[in-house]
Amino acid sequence: MSQKRLCCAVMRINLDCNACCRKVRRILINMKEVETHVIEKKERKIIVCGQFRPSDVAVKLQKKMKRRVEILEIEDLTGGHGGEGEEGHDHEPMYQSQHEYPLQPDHMTTPLLC
């Protein structure tokens, strides 16, 4: 069973109107484990930060709103300090191109000489 940890989760939920946004905000404010939240109505996204399990927040929103909730991204903010059984995560190295392309003058920044 995974423990609650400090994390930030991005979720997608269909927000049709301002009333839907108010209802989501009220649900998130009443959740004790959620510290901060951002609701982006146009992108239909909710960003939630705090000490919780992201699946618990998604299930609670789904039950209260009667809408599908997708977890898009989860970022662990604990940093691996003090956690039991946590192993060091190897991060993927940055992308490096195998080909070198010749430098060409950029027409947008090259000054025009008239």
Rg over alpha carbons for the chain, rounded to the nearest Å, is 21
Total domain count, the chain: 1
pLDDT band at residue 104 under the 50/70/90 scheme: low
Domain-embedded: residue 27: yes
Domain-embedded: residue 39: yes
Q: Given its phi and psi angles, is residue 11 left (phi above 0), alpha (psi -120 to 50 degrees) or beta?
A: beta
Domain-embedded: residue 9: no
Q: What is the pLDDT of residue 111?
A: 55
pTM check: above 0.85: no
Residue 40 lies in domain? 20-76
Q: What is the pLDDT of residue 48?
A: 94
Q: What is the pLDDT of residues 21-48, one digit of tens each?
A: 999 999 999 998 899 999 999 999 999 9
Please count the residues of the chain. 114
Domain-embedded: residue 13: no
For residue 66, the domain's CATH number is 3.30.70
Give the distance between the most distant pair of CA atoms in the chain. Answer: 71
d(CA 79, CA 53): 16
pLDDT band at residue 1 under the 50/70/90 scheme: very low
Domain-embedded: residue 1: no
pLDDT band at residue 105 under the 50/70/90 scheme: low
Mean pLDDT of 102-106: 57
More confident residue, 13 or 80: 13
